[in-house]
Amino acid sequence: MPKDGHYNTRTGWLRAAILGANDGLVSTASLLVGVIAAGSGHGGVLLAGFAGLTAGAFSMAAGEYVSVSAQADSEAADLARELQALQDDPDYELDELAQGLQARGVSPDLAARVAHEMTEHDALDAHAREELGFTETSAGDPLQAAWASALSFAVGGALPVLAAILAPSGVGIPAVAVVSLVALMLLGASGAWLGGAPVRAAVLRVLFWGSLAMAVTAGVGHLFGPLV
């Protein structure tokens, strides 16, 4: 458990890392299972695995960077509008802050005093927290999210590729599936433990979606493999 007893300080990098590792495992394993089911040779299977691993890692990094940057830009725009509102009509904003505190159970007189003191201390920070819901822990770092996602995708995706490399001839699909599902179980349990969430539900979620993805792509490989 964190020293302060809370897990929300981990959510920024933890979400990106868990998403990246899960996606790396599921997408790479599913790709390999589909290619093996289609009848590709060992070289073709490994080529598909490494290509999917590389493309996926860069795709995850780009996606995380763009999405977190877009969120940061939106928050910055909201803060700029709030700052302008504080400058244009400070009395209205003070009353709005007091009403927000009242809505959370603070008595009217106390809410007015607290709103006044919060405004005197840092008006923009007070409105960012109380009105917009922005805090230090909710702010994302685009580079941190991108690196966490890309690296975790690469680590997750490397496991099914390694299983495909080491698997004896004829057992590629079972080897990739077993290694990937075991890794998904460990990933789900670790992510739940790090985030202070129930472990069993997290494990069942990743097992269900991982199994479904590999089953569907195996079916696609069997169906379309003879046609290509």
1 is a domain residue: no
Residue carrying the six token digits 């300080």: 9
Question: Is 107 domain-assigned?
Answer: yes
The mean pLDDT of 164-169, rounded to a whole number, is 90
Q: Quick check: is 96 in a domain?
A: yes
Q: In terms of domains, do 81 and 118 share one?
A: yes
Contacts of 46 (CB under 8 A, 6+ apart): 161, 164, 165
| Residue 94 structural domain | 76-130
Asked if 120 and 207 sit in the same domain, the reply is: no
> Is pLDDT larger for residue 211 or for residue 126?
211
Q: pLDDT tens for residues 32-60?
A: 999 999 988 889 999 999 999 999 999 98
**Residue written as token pair 């394993």:** 29
Share of the chain above pLDDT 90, in %: 35
**Cα distance between residue 30 and residue 37, in whole Å:** 10
- What distance in Å separates the CA atoms of residue 127 and residue 120, rounded to the nearest whole number? 12
DSSP category for residue 132? S
Is 80 exceeded by the pLDDT of residue 146?
Answer: yes
